[in-house]
Amino acid sequence: MFPLTINGIEVMAEKGMTVFEAAEKVGIYIPTLCHHEDLSTFGACRVCMVEANGWLVTACRAPVEEGMVVHTDSQEIRQVRRSNVELILANHNEDCQTCDRNNNCKLQEVSAFVGVTPDRMKRMRRFVTDEPVDDSNPFFDRDQTKCIVCGICIRACEEINGVGAIDFAFRGYGTSVSVLGNKPIYDSKCESCGECVERCPTGALSVKKQYIAEREVDSICSYCGVGCGITIGVRGEEVVGVRGEKDNPVNHGELCVKGRYGFSFINHPDRLKTPLVKKNGEFEEVSWDEALDLVAGKLNGYKEKHGADSLGGISSARCTSEENYLFQKLFRMAGTNSIDHCARL
């Protein structure tokens, strides 16, 4: 550990830290658009510029040094940041009111901090692409008019999921994020995991039919036996969204396409919520005790009539390891080893 000074505050840092991390450690806010804590540093937006030992550097990439003197809010820095953000806004869709990211947009936050005003934006020559929204993906849309070419989605796809379905394409003012051949996302190798959507700082990537939750509940994904931690967004009695639980030791906030977007079955009106038993040719709802007593009676009857080898059980990968252990234990105690599992199929 060694000391450096940021805005007159002595900060103890360690080798390998960046100026951005050192400032964050003592609660000093440095605006940024291309930085994300889950990804490698990039330094493309130039909004996190600070003055270190008299030189302008990008805080997210500049390593700390012993005795370094850093200023994060001088007049020169304010001007540089504001100019960079204004250039980004000059090519950005102005319709914030109907954007899914409205009031939850990193670009809005940074614009307000650096002091962008309508009068200053009047000086800019605006150019916004007229490329149509790519709605080919069944779970999210891509709107290039709201993309700030920060590269977060590209790094998320490569570093988190290891797919590399998207990258920078074209050059100069025409630079954009694209799949191979500039095709719709649906025709690419995108796995729809949503890691890019989760981290996009603007509305360039947005979930279809997105609703704001009134409360959130932590749970475990039931699609397989991995046991990923999820945070479920609830509105009334309806599930409106799912995101990964960042502090969960199993998945650290990451999810697959099923875990993130496959929750619509929860709200389906035909979803079974109570056991059904056929009586007089018709299925009727019964209590769990009645259903379990019926199953236990049937199993005992078959065992007495045909022997233990007549019994067999098929378990599920959607159960926890503990539940699968109890399931196989139940049948082994009944005297049979005829147990199979859907994950083998």
SS (H, E, C) 71-135: ECCCHHHHHHHHHHHHHHHCCCCCCCCCCCCCCCCHHHHHHHHHCCCHHHHCCCCCCCCCCCCEC
Please compute the mean of the pLDDT values over residues 298-308 and round it to a whole number. Answer: 94
- Burial of residue 245 (CB within 10 Å: 0-12, 13-18, 19+) is buried
pLDDT one-digit tens code per residue, 194-209? 999 999 999 999 999 8
261 pLDDT band, cuts 50/70/90, is very high
Task: Provide CB contacts within 8 A for 327, sequence distance 6+.
Answer: 313, 315, 319, 339
pLDDT at 321: 83
| pLDDT reading at 343 higher than 80 | no
Percent of the chain with pLDDT over 70: 99
**pLDDT averaged over the chain?**
93
Contact 4, 65 (CB under 8 A): yes
Which tokens in the block code for residue 330? 């139940």
| pLDDT reading at 345 higher than 70 | no
pTM, 2 dp: 0.85
Query: What's the topology of domain 129-207?
Result: Alpha-Beta Plaits (3.30.70)
- Cα dihedral 169, 175, 177, 181, rounded to 10, equals -30
Tell me which CATH code domain 215-267 carries: 2.20.25.90
Please compute the mean of the pLDDT values over residues 260-271 and round it to a whole number. Answer: 91
CATH 3.10.20.740 given to domain 2-89 = yes
pLDDT one-digit tens code per residue, 214-258? 999 999 998 887 889 999 999 998 999 999 999 999 999 999 999
341 pLDDT band, cuts 50/70/90, is confident
pLDDT at 276: 95
Please compute the mean of the pLDDT values over residues 44-66 and round it to a whole number. Answer: 95
pLDDT one-digit tens code per residue, 84-95? 999 999 999 999
All structural domains of the chain with their residue ranges: 2-89, 129-207, 215-267, 276-344
Distances (CA, A) of 66 to 53, 83, 111, 155, 195: 11, 31, 32, 31, 36
